[in-house]
Amino acid sequence: MWGSPIKGPDPTRGMVFQDYALFPWLSVRDNIGFGPASRGLARSVVKETVDKFIDLVGLAKFANAYPHQLSGGMKQRVAIARVLANDAEIVLMDEPFGALDAMTRERLQDELLDIWQRTGLTVVFVTHSIEEAIFLADRVVVMTPGPGRIESDNPLLLSRPRDVASIEFNDIRRVMSAKLHSHHGKKAA
Amino acid sequence: MALVETVPPPAAVIVEKPVGKTPWERVKPFVLAMIVPALLLAFWQVATTRRWTRLIPTPYEVGEYMIDFAVGGIYDDAFSATLLTHLMASMSRVYGGFALAALFALPLGLMIGRIPTARMVLDPFLQVMRPIPVTAWLPLSMILFGLGPRSAFALVCLGAFYPILLNTIFGVRSVDPKLFEAASMLGCQGNAQFYKVVLPAALPSIFTGLRLGLGLAWFVIVVGEMTGVPQGLGAVIMDGRTLSRTELVICGMIIIGIAGYVSDRIVVMIGNRLLAWSPTHHG
């Protein structure tokens, strides 16, 4: 990554899991502070970092709530804030919306775009949904199934906010579908 | 779009129940809980006054004896006003044996749960030892620890040991693997994960084990005090049995029941405090 090989888990690559994998025994505040605290930063520095990112994702009011008290969207925001607070430069999201109903998924997509626009974060997003890829991504990488190789790399120049019902959107969707025609596979954005 | 405006109110706020319960709602749990004891008491009363059995005293006699047992002044025999002495003796064995059991079972459980070799060495042995009831250990315990309180202590400890051990192992082994990945990703690796992930994640299960263990410690106190100890509620029940004083036996049973119940409620209250984060852990 950025010229250096990847050797193992590293705080600069944050991961947002499908079910967020928040620590259920920690409050929102302590979940976000987990990384900085693990690195042995001073308590005041941890607090400052947590305050900054808790505000960024709009959860200041829920700082002391536990994960089971939060909605799916709020959990996602905690998961993102958690990796941001740990100095992540790139966030990997592996089908984070895979298990959700369509309504919730749309709301979370909007929230993700909102955070992405405010932070300028790089997100690698794995999805099986062509529509999701086109709605979110600047760049869509189509993967072949097992072994996962890159089938094609497609920059998306569609302006934002994107409308899934627009003609342009559907043109792109048609092209992408064709690329997936022979191999049914994943797309990364 | 401002994020804050899209935030639904948290479950924590909604959960707050409206104040101002009706008087009936307030006393309802108590009234419902009293139905079965009241029926039992009524049946006991009828059975003894109609002389279906001559060996069991009436509730009134037991009640009277209970007062004498607690404060004296009615029969003034060897057991009058000794309740507190016996209760304290039993409590010291229950809590002492429980604490000792926890002292062994917790580290052992964490080890068996975390280290595969320890599991392979110890688990088969413990699984074979586990079904052996505490009663069966009584003779051996008296040989090993002698007649008296040390034996009682050992038996109570044994009774509390397995639930603590097994629940600790279960708790440690059933930590969501995703949480380890998440911790690694956030820079918490190796042994630090034990304190930061394993222990807190296993805590609800460990707590259940402690609660069951303490319950069993009360459960086996009578067997534990069959070992020839002069004081204790178990000893009182055994004395009542040899002297054919059934009212004494029933008093002992009631007190063990109440003491065990109160001790469990205290543990549950502590648990609700410590495990407020756990949605499934409210007893």
Q: Checking DSSP bridges between strand A187-188 and strand A139-143, what pairing results, if any?
A: antiparallel
pLDDT of residue A4: 64
Numbers of helices and strands, H then E, in chain B: 14, 0
Of residues B172 and A178, more confidence is placed in B172
Q: Does the residue B227 lie in any domain?
A: yes
Q: What is the mean pLDDT of residues B33-53?
A: 91
CA distances from B25 to B15, B21, B36 (A): 18, 6, 19
Model pLDDT for residues B105-142, shown as the tens digit of each residue: 999 999 999 999 999 999 999 999 999 999 999 999 99
Q: Does the residue B156 lie in any domain?
A: yes
Q: What is the mean pLDDT of residues A81-98?
A: 84
Q: Does the residue B6 lie in any domain?
A: no
Is residue B242 within 8 A of residue B276, CB to CB? The reply is no
Residues of chain B neighbouring A15 (CB-CB closer than 8 A): 181-182, 185
DSSP-derived secondary structure letter, A100? S
Is there a contact between B11 and A11 if contact means CB atoms under 8 Å apart? no
Lowest-confidence range among B21-25, B84-88, B248-252? B21-25
Is there a contact between B4 and A58 if contact means CB atoms under 8 Å apart? yes
What percentage of residues in chain A have a pLDDT greater than 70?
A: 88
Residues of chain B neighbouring A34 (CB-CB closer than 8 A): 183, 186, 188, 196
CATH number at residue B108: 1.10.3720.10
Model pLDDT for residues A125-151, shown as the tens digit of each residue: 888 888 888 888 888 888 877 676 777
Q: Is the pLDDT of residue B177 over 80?
A: yes
Q: Does the residue B49 lie in any domain?
A: no
Non-local CB neighbours of B83 within 8 Å, separated by 6+ positions: B69, B70, B255
Q: Is the pLDDT of residue A86 over 90?
A: no
pLDDT of residue A181: 67
- On the 0-12 / 13-18 / 19+ scale of CB atoms within 10 A, A188 is buried
Q: Does the residue B140 lie in any domain?
A: yes
pLDDT of residue A188: 53
Is there a contact between B192 and A61 if contact means CB atoms under 8 Å apart? no
Determine the Cα–Cα distance for residues B168 and B113; give it in Å rounded to an integer.
8
The residue of chain A nearest to residue B185, with distances taken between CA atoms, is A9
pLDDT of residue B167: 95
Q: Does the residue B28 lie in any domain?
A: no
Model pLDDT for residues B181-233, shown as the tens digit of each residue: 899 888 888 888 999 999 999 999 999 999 999 999 999 998 888 888 889 99
Number of CB atoms found within 10 A of residue B96's CB: 16
Q: What is the mean pLDDT of residues B36-58?
A: 90
pLDDT of residue A179: 78
Domain that holds residue B142: 91-274
Give me the residue from B10, B187, B278 closest to A35, CB to CB: B187
Counted domains in chain B: 1
- On the 0-12 / 13-18 / 19+ scale of CB atoms within 10 A, A37 is buried
pLDDT of residue B13: 45
Q: Does the residue B101 lie in any domain?
A: yes
HSE (CB half, 13 Å, CA atoms) of B120? 3
Chain A interface, mutation test: which of B186, B188, B195, most A Cβ atoms within 10 Å?
Answer: B186
